[in-house]
A = this chain, B = another copy of it.
Amino acid sequence: MDRIVECVPNFSEGRDASVVARLVEAVEAVPGALVLGTHVDTDHNRSVITFVAPPETVVEAAVRVVARASELIDLSRHAGQHPRMGATDVLPFIPVRGVSVEECVALAHEAGGRIWRELQVPVYFYESAAMRPERRNLADVRRGGFELLREQIAGVPERAPDVGEARLHPTAGACIVGVRPLLIAYNVTLKTSDLAIARRIARTVRERDGGLLHLKALGFELESRGVVQVSMNLTSYERTNLHQAFEAVRREAERLGVEVIASEVVGLVPQSALDRAAAHFLQLENYSPDIVLENRIAAALERKKGDGGGNVSA
């Protein structure tokens, strides 16, 4: 796949595995759509499917899975701590390769239009797909959840959906569709049980407090291990990379007399983020994806396909 959009729908069902399996089926029935993983959270009664597809079929896959969720999940009977307002609660589109944010916004808007027309589920757009500035932040859109929105949707103008009539679907609620960047979730573990140190390092390294651009960070305790962690989100890993986040934490920890034990990626990491880290630490002056054997094989394969299989008469 040359052009890849990732889609990570969140569903309000995390206890019935057969429902999640049928949602996965709905995605994989669409040509080009590939499920990379599912995460089922029984505590929050919520599940997440991560899939990728080319821009040509990602909307179809997204609409089909939203349709399947609205058949299978009854939000009016749903219980769970996590704020939610739809059977498919959030539907983010993420540009991964060869696709711009603007193209993803167009895809998100197309999906939103179809979700209303085909399923009568009203749609709110968030983050890069937001149509109103006050809806950029997902938490603001979702405040009060299904129950509050049910009371307000018809009467409170600022709670009206971006697409569709001002009434919730009786069982599927509403759907929040958006475009967000590819995140890397990355934690660095420190050899101390002092939470204040993790918090202090988090403040030093994060953008909000004058640290690295595109880096969010918080300090957490890992009680089971008796240590603390700086938990980070890299929101633009091509500009602020893994190794920069790691080095910033390591330097600050060193200054405070604390050792770094390890780091971990939560979820998935793009190959280029690891490659850049390797090139950085090895001081590799001639790094390019082109020196990697597997990439050269993939490129040769593409080239040969383009030639129609080469000169078979030779």
Binds B, one of A147-155, A168-176, A291-299: A291-299
Number of chain copies forming the complex: 2
Binary interface encoding of chain A residues 242-285 relative to chain B, with 1 for a CB under 8 A from any of its CBs, else 0: 11001000000000000011111101111100110111111111
Binary interface encoding of chain A residues 57-101 relative to chain B, with 1 for a CB under 8 A from any of its CBs, else 0: 000000010001000000000000000000000000000100000
A166 at the interface (CB under 8 A from B): no
Q: List residues 10-37 of chain A with CB under 8 A from any CB of chain B.
A: 25-26, 28-29, 31, 34-37
How far is A168 from B260 in the complex, measured between Cα atoms in Å? 64
A1 at the interface (CB under 8 A from B): yes
Q: Who on chain B is nearest to A313 by CB?
A: B29
A123 at the interface (CB under 8 A from B): no
> At the interface, is chain A mostly helix, strand, loop or mixed?
mixed
A133 at the interface (CB under 8 A from B): no
Q: Are A246 and B36 within 8 A (Cβ)?
A: no
Q: What is the minimal beta-carbon distance from A280 to any residue of chain B, in angstroms?
A: 8
Binds B, one of A136-144, A202-210, A303-311: A303-311
Q: Who on chain B is nearest to A276 by CB?
A: B278
Q: Are B283 and A262 within 8 A (Cβ)?
A: yes
A residues within 8 Å of B by Cβ?
A: 1, 4, 25-26, 28-29, 31, 34-37, 52, 64, 68, 96, 189, 242-243, 246, 260-265, 267-271, 274-275, 277-287, 291-297, 300-301, 304, 307, 309-314
Complex A-B: 16 CB contacts under 8 Å: A25-B310, A25-B314, A34-B297, A36-B300, A52-B300, A242-B278, A242-B282, A243-B278, A243-B282, A246-B282, A263-B284, A269-B292, A269-B293, A274-B274, A278-B278, A278-B281
